Amino acid sequence: MSAEANENRAIHVHLDRLLAERGMTLTELAAAVGVTNVNLSILKNGRAKAIRFTTLTSICHALDCQPGDLLSYREADDSSFESA
Which pLDDT score is estimated for 75? 82
Q: What is the mean pLDDT of the chain?
A: 86
pLDDT, one tens digit per residue, over 53-70 is: 999 999 999 999 999 999
**Across 6-14, average pLDDT:** 75
The highest-level CATH class for domain 8-76 is mainly alpha
DSSP state of 47: -
- The domain spans of the chain are 8-76
Which pLDDT score is estimated for 69? 98
Which pLDDT score is estimated for 83? 46
Long-range residue pairs from 31-36, CB within 8 A, at least 24 positions apart, any chain = 32/58, 32/62, 33/58, 33/59, 33/62, 34/58
pTM, two decimals, is: 0.78
Dist CA 29 CA 59 (whole Å):
8
Which pLDDT score is estimated for 9? 59
Q: Centre a 10 Å sphere on the Cβ of residue 74 and count the other Cβ atoms it contains.
A: 9
